[in-house]
Amino acid sequence: MKYLKTSQYVPGKGEAWMYYELDDKMEVQRYCTHIPMTSELERVPDPIIKQLFRPEMMQPSTAEEFTSRWDLGK
């Protein structure tokens, strides 16, 4: 598996971080969005869209970082 992350500012809420888990073909297996300032979390276990737009613009992440965010919703 490969892991990527990216962020986007959300007015009134702060930075929203999106964490992606991808297979070896770079297809999205699952992802989550976490807004630390508001403790909001959205988990998407089976996303409809499987290809990322411009993944080269994203930051690398790790399995541990992804799992720590994903597990916040349990």
15: its two tokens:
């930075």
Q: Both ends of the chain: CA-CA distance in Å?
A: 22
Q: Where are the beta strands (DSSP E) in 1-74?
A: 2-10, 14-22, 28-35, 40-44, 59-60
The full set of domain ranges for the chain reads: 2-73
| Residue 68 · residue 21 · CB < 8 Å | no
Place of tokens 């976490």: 34
Q: What is the pLDDT along the chain (74 residues), one digit of tens a residue?
A: 999 999 999 999 999 999 999 999 999 999 999 999 999 999 999 999 999 999 999 999 999 999 999 998 77
* CA–CA separation, 20 and 27 (whole Å): 10
Record the pTM: 0.93
